[in-house]
Amino acid sequence: MRENGARTPETRKAWRFAFPTAYTILFVLIALVAAGSWILPAGEYERADNAELGRSVPVPGTYEPVAPNPQGIVDVFIAPIAGFYNPESYEAQAIDVALFVIILGGFLGVVTRTGAIDRAIERAMTALRGREVWMIPILMAFFAAGGTTYGMAEESLAFYGLLIPVMLAARFDSVVAVSVILLGAGVGVLGSTINPFATVIASNAAGVPFTSGLGLRLFILVAGWAVCSTYVVRYALKVRRDPSRSIVADESDAIAARFKSEDHDPTAPLTWPQTLTLIIFAATFGVMIWGVSSQGWWMDKMSALFIAAAILVGMVTWMGEKGFVEAFMEGAKDLLGVALIIGIARGIVVVMDAGKMTDTILHAGEQALSGLGAVGFINTMFGIELGLSFLVPSSSGLAVLSMPVLAPLADFSGVDRSLVVTAYQSANGLVNLINPSFAVVMGALAIGGVPYQRWLKFMWPLLLVLAALIMGALSFAVLIG
C-alpha cells in the first residue's frame, strides 16, 4: 500500500529490473544481428572447392560488394526455426543436437528413477570424505583431453546430469559442476593439439602441417588447465565454507530438487538392479566416447545408444512399460528447454549468413592486418578471431572461413602461419566459454540452472587471465621465432 505517493517495499520489488532469460537474450541478439544487416555493407568472397577439407573455402583477394539482403521482422521469427532445420546449410542447423539432448534427458530420467545414482554418490562421498576437491582438477583434465584430441563439445552435455549431483553431494554447487565440464572441455579446445575440427582443418586451410606449433599449443593447454583448475577449486572451497557465497545460492533448493530421485532412503544399500544400472550407465558413456573419438559417431548414433541404454535400464530394474515411459518423458521434459535454447542460438548464424555480413566482417579483418609488425600482427589476429568467434562459434566453420584469407597475410609480417592457427583456435576456444550463440554454453547453463548474467560475472576475471596468457605466449613465440 502506498503512503504519500511513496513506493512500498512490495512495489519496489515489483519494479526492480530482472535480467532476462537465455531465451530473451538470444532472441534479442537475433534481432540486433538482423538490424545490422541494414547497416553493414553486404559482400562475399569467391569460393573454391578444397578437396582436402571437403568443402568450399573463400579465395583471398576476391571480396566484392554484393546486393544487400537486409533481414526483416519475418526473418527474425523464421531464424529460430531455421536454426533447428535449415535445408540450405546443414552446418547451421541444430535439430540433431536438440533431439540428442531430449533423448539424453529421457535416459537420465529413467536412471534417476532407479535411485542408483544417489546411492552411488553417497558411497563415493564417504570414500572421498575430506578429499572431494581433488575431483575438480582430475575431472577437468579428463574433459580437457577430450577437447584437445577430438574437440569435445555437444557430447559433453551428456555428463552434466551425472556430475551435478556429485558436486552437490560434495557440498559445492552446480556452478562447480558446469565449470568442470565446460571449462575443462573448453580449455582443451583452446589448447587443441590434434583436434581434427580445429587444429587439423585450420592447419590444412593455412597450408601448414598440423604438428607445426605443437609445443606452443601444449604449453597453452597445460597452463590453461592449471589456471582454470585453480580458479574453480578456490570458488568451490569458498562455497563449501559459506554456501551463501554461491552465485546460485537463491536457486540451490530448486537445483537440488531437479537432481534428487523419488522415494530415496539414504541408509539403504545398493540393490542388484541398481548395481546393474550403474554398470549400464558407465558403459553407455564409455561406448559414446569410443564411438565419437574413433568411429566418427555423431548425434544420430549417440541418440540411438542412449535410447537402447534407457530401455535396458528399464528392463533390468523391472520398471514396467508404464513406469518406463513416465520416467523417460519426465526426463525429456526437463531438458526440453535446453533443446529449444540450442535451436534459437543457431538462429543467429542463420541471420548472419542470410544478411551477407559474415564475409564483410572477415574482409575488414583482412584490411586491419595489413602492414603490421610481427607482435602487432599476431595479437591483432587474435583480436579479430575473438570477434569472428562470436559470430561463427563453430570451430570448423571459423577455420574454413578465416584461415584461407587471413593465414597468407602472416608471410608479409614475418610470422609463421602455424601461429595464426594457434591464435585462431585459442580465440575461438576462449570466446566459446561464454558465447551466447554457442549452443553448448547456453545448454550447459540451462541444465545447471545457472543464469547467463551470473556466469558472465563468474567468468570475467578468468577470461582476462586466459587472454593475457594466450597473448603473452603468442608474443613470445613470435619474438623467438
pLDDT at 267: 54
pLDDT at 49: 78
User: What contacts 435, CB < 8 A, 6 or more positions away?
Assistant: 389, 390, 393, 441
- The share of the chain scoring above pLDDT 70, in percent, equals 87
Among the residues of 20-72, which ranges form H helices?
Answer: 22-36
Phi, psi of 103 (to 5 degrees): -65, -40
Q: How confident is the model at residue 151 (pLDDT cuts 50, 70, 90)?
A: confident
Phi, psi of 213 (to 5 degrees): 85, 15
Q: Tell which wins on pLDDT, 21 or 393.
A: 393
Flag whether pLDDT at 431 surpasses 90.
Answer: yes
Q: Please write down the long-range contacts of 272-277, taking CB distance under 8 Å and 24 or more positions apart.
A: 273/114, 273/116, 273/316, 273/317, 273/318, 274/114, 274/115, 274/116, 274/119, 274/120, 274/317, 275/116, 276/316, 276/317, 277/111, 277/114, 277/116, 277/313, 277/316, 277/317
**In whole angstroms, what separates CA 385 from the centre of its chain?**
17
User: Which H or E element spans position 414?
Assistant: none
Flag whether pLDDT at 477 surpasses 90.
Answer: yes
Mean pLDDT is lowest, of 34-43, 132-141, 192-201, 370-379, for 192-201
> How far is the CA of 181 from the CAs of 36, 161, 186, 463, in angstroms?
34, 11, 8, 16
pLDDT at 22: 65
Q: How confident is the model at residue 470 (pLDDT cuts 50, 70, 90)?
A: very high
- The share of the chain scoring above pLDDT 90, in percent, equals 32
Place of cell 544417489: 118
Mean pLDDT is lowest, of 91-100, 120-129, 162-171, 432-441, for 120-129
pLDDT at 153: 79
pLDDT at 70: 93
Q: How confident is the model at residue 9 (pLDDT cuts 50, 70, 90)?
A: very low
Nine-digit cell at 286?
Answer: 564409455
Place of cell 531465451: 23
Question: Mean per-residue pLDDT for 240-245?
Answer: 93
Instruction: For 391-428, write each residue's pLDDT tens digit.
Output: 778 787 788 778 877 887 787 677 888 999 999 999 99
Instruction: For 36-51, write each residue's pLDDT tens digit.
Output: 899 989 998 888 876 6
pLDDT at 187: 95
pLDDT at 13: 45
Question: Mean per-residue pLDDT for 19-41?
Answer: 83
Mean pLDDT for all residues in the chain: 83
pLDDT at 91: 54
Flag whether pLDDT at 25 surpasses 70.
Answer: yes
The DSSP letter of residue 295 is S
Question: Mean per-residue pLDDT for 13-40?
Answer: 76
Q: How confident is the model at residue 178 (pLDDT cuts 50, 70, 90)?
A: very high
Question: Mean per-residue pLDDT for 195-201?
Answer: 78
Strands 43-44 and 64-65, sheet pairing: antiparallel
pLDDT at 54: 63
Flag whether pLDDT at 386 surpasses 90.
Answer: yes
Flag whether pLDDT at 388 surpasses 50.
Answer: yes
Question: Mean per-residue pLDDT for 246-258?
Answer: 84
Nine-digit cell at 377?
Answer: 600482427
Instruction: For 357-373, write each residue's pLDDT tens digit.
Output: 878 877 887 788 877 78
Instruction: For 64-104, write each residue's pLDDT tens digit.
Output: 899 999 999 999 999 888 888 766 655 556 787 788 878 88
Mean pLDDT is lowest, of 263-277, 369-383, 442-456, for 263-277
The DSSP letter of residue 3 is B
Q: How confident is the model at residue 2 (pLDDT cuts 50, 70, 90)?
A: very low
The model's pTM is 0.70
pLDDT at 14: 45
Flag whether pLDDT at 171 surpasses 80.
Answer: yes
Q: Tell which wins on pLDDT, 231 or 108.
A: 231
pLDDT at 290: 86
Q: How confident is the model at residue 33 (pLDDT cuts 50, 70, 90)?
A: confident
Q: Domain ranges in the chain?
A: 20-36+71-480
